[in-house]
Every structure is written in C-alpha cells, then in structure tokens.
Amino acid sequence: MAEIIVVANEDEAGEIYAQAVMKLLEKKPNAVLGLATGSSPLKAYEHLAQHVHDKHLDMSQVRGFALDEYVGLEPTHPQSYRSTITRTVVEPLGMNPDLVHVPNGAAETLAHAGADYDRMIEESGGVDIQILGIGADGHIGFNEPGSSLASGTRIKTLTQQTRSDNARFFDDDLDQVPRHAITQGIGTILRAKHLILLAFGDNKAEAIAHSIEGGVSSFWPASALQLHSHATVIVDEAAASKLHNLNYYRWAYENKPEWQEI
Ligand code: GLP
C-alpha cells in the first residue's frame, strides 16, 4: 500500500517532496527527476528551489523527464508542457535544459516518439523520484480512464472532462485545448523508483478514495500505485475526506519510526 500522508496545506506537502529530493541529491548529484505539470506540484517545486538557493546546490547534472505533452502545440507555445516545465522547474532550479526531456508531440516523429522516450528513460538508469498530480477522473500523466496499466509512452485522446478542466490555461476557450497528448504510460510511470502523488481540494477526493482504497482498475488509473512498492500519497484534508481508513493513515504516520524515510 502507498504511504498516505495527510497535510494541512500545499506548503507542507511541498516541503516533504523537497526534503525527499534533497536527500536523493546528497547521494546522487546526477539524479533523475520525473516531472509533472498542473497546479498540484507547484509548491513542491518552489520549496525545492528555495533549498537549492539557500544551500547553493549545483543542479547542473540533475536530469529530468516530464510526464506528458500536448500534441499539436509548438514547444514554444506558452501552454506547451515544454514551456511550462521550463518556467516552473528548469529555470527556478537552475537545471541544464539539455538534460530535461519532454515527450515530443511533433507530428513528423509521433509514430515512434513514445518508444524513443521510454528508451531514453531506461538509458538514463530510470527515474528516481516521480512527482505526480491526479485528475478528477483519476488520470495520471494523461492516462485517461481505461488506459492499460502496462502501457508505455504513447498518444492518448483526452476526455472532454480533462479538456474542459484544462481550458483555464487556454483563455477558457475549449476549442484551443488540444484533443491529443503524448504521455508516459502507466507501465512507464510504475518503473520509477519512488512515486510521490500530490492531491489537494474536494474535487480530488473521489479519485483519491477510488485509487487508494478501491480495486486496481484501469478505470481509475492512479489505482496503479497500489502495484508499486514505494509510493507516497500526500493529500490535504479535503482530498482525503472520502478515505475510509483515514484514522489508520494518520496513526501510522504519527508513529513512523524516525529512521524510516518517506
Ligand atoms: C493534467 C496533467 C496531469 C495533472 C492533472 C491535474 O491533466 N496532465 O499530470 O496531474 O492535469 O492537474 P492539477 O494539478 O492542476 O489539478
């Protein structure tokens, strides 16, 4: 089972992520970070950037792999995930942009872009810590409900729900939101060594409850975390509100041995 940590707010969650990454970097200065877009990881990146700044850490060898990208947006489009990752992660952390990869949504190479991406991740030695958000329908990356739990990086057709959730980044104009994305598969994500999923707010409560306490099903893609031996789920009270075993998760975290890391 994933470790469930209930926090007061996004800052507390962000600090837990930042501490985990800092510990990793002490041991491995060329660590491989799995990166996600969306609003959920923003505080986590901010906290990490603060530590990097305060401790004058050299991030130039750290490598990164983003989860997904829209198909049909130029990488220079402000809402492409390439631009978003550059703005929210690469620049604030002082990473070398050449070492940060985003799936390639360009039409010419789309047929083999997924397999190429998975090969690149494998050749890097694999993702050490993968940060994840979750969609209201339980999607991770852009693996919409019904995605194979064994899937590799590939094209997915976005649901109308996801498109309308993301319309806020496109002047609330649904027509501007791409219909397809290239996303790391659930099988790809499961190969990362440590998964840290962050979820905040009421609209994530149902997806969290199904994914953590329901059966493993491709119809709740984040339920695949139940198959991973090192997964950490950090939620605020609102996102945790539909979990039945909440008291146990709190009890377990409060009584966690000091030597045990997340
Ligand atoms: C998009 C991204 C996901 C992200 C989800 C939720 O669909 N592809 O990686 O988890 O949005 O975003 P937010 O964190 O803004 O709720």
> With a 6 A CB cut-off, is 211 part of the ligand 1 pocket?
no
Q: Which residues are catalytic?
A: 68, 137, 139, 144
> With a 6 A CB cut-off, is 143 part of the ligand 1 pocket?
no
> With a 6 A CB cut-off, is 44 part of the ligand 1 pocket?
no
* pLDDT at res. 46: 98
pTM for the full model? Answer: 0.97
Q: Residue 97 pLDDT more than 90?
A: yes
> With a 6 A CB cut-off, is 135 part of the ligand 1 pocket?
yes
Span of 73-77, 125-129, 206-210, 225-229 with lowest mean pLDDT: 73-77
Q: Residue 145 pLDDT more than 90?
A: yes
Show contacts of 160-169: CB within 8 Å, 24+ apart: 161/135, 161/136, 161/137, 162/135, 162/137, 165/135, 165/136, 169/79
Q: Residue 262 pLDDT more than 90?
A: no
Nearest CA to ligand 1 atom 3: 141
- Give the mean pLDDT of 110-131: 97
Nearest CA to ligand 1 atom 10: 133
- Give the mean pLDDT of 144-160: 97
Would you state the structure tokens that stand for residue 262, as one six-digit string? Answer: 């997340």
> With a 6 A CB cut-off, is 70 part of the ligand 1 pocket?
no
- Give the mean pLDDT of 16-36: 97
Nearest CA to ligand 1 atom 1: 38
- Give the mean pLDDT of 46-51: 98
- From ligand 1's centre to the CA of 56, what distance in Å? 30
Ligand 1 atom with minimal separation from the 181 CA: 8
Longest dimension (CA), the chain: 53
pLDDT band at 241 (very low <50, low <70, confident <90, very high): very high
- Give the mean pLDDT of 56-74: 96
